[in-house]
Amino acid sequence: MRRYQGIIYTTDSHVAATCQHVGKEIEMDMFIEQSMADFLLRLQKNDCTVAIFDCGPNGGECVNWVKLIRRQRPKIPLIVFCDDVSSSIGAKLYQEGIFYLGLRPIEPAEFLEVLKATVKQTSVF
């Protein structure tokens, strides 16, 4: 079976632990980055299956970061987690082509299904 890779930007240890735990269930290695510069560098250099961006409480600033990520890797499935998001910010995020927008705290069963869907999508290419 092919090993999949995910790259996560988060400063929240609970988000990181949840992503790693769920990733193990489908044999996906998760690389955690706490610095945006390191996240973008790893994203550029690695052939990963999925990118996960944790906005935390700064949902409004998230749109600009997502635009940068989409410019760098437009075809990679991008999962975004926020503490709270307005419908207008959510719409802007989806306009940027994100794969999934989830609220924190992360629900592991739901996140597992989202990760499985990203694997299916990338297997098609």
9 lies in some domain: yes
Instruction: Give the mean pLDDT of 27-48.
Output: 93
Q: pLDDT band at residue 122, thresholds of 50, 70 and 90?
A: confident
Residue 57: the pLDDT is: 67
Residue 61: the pLDDT is: 84
Report if pTM > 0.75: yes
Number of domains in the chain: 1
Domain with residue 57: its CATH number is: 3.40.50.2300
pLDDT: which is higher, 125 or 71: 71
125 lies in some domain: no
Residue 108: the pLDDT is: 97
Question: Is pLDDT above 80 for 84?
Answer: yes
The Cα–Cα gap between 6 and 3 comes to 10
> Residue 81's domain spans which residues?
4-120
Residue 124: the pLDDT is: 54
The dihedrals phi and psi of 30, each to the nearest 5 degrees, come to -110, 125
Q: b/e map of 63-93 (b: 16 or more CB within 10 Å)?
A: bebbeebbeebeebbbbbbbeebeeebbebb
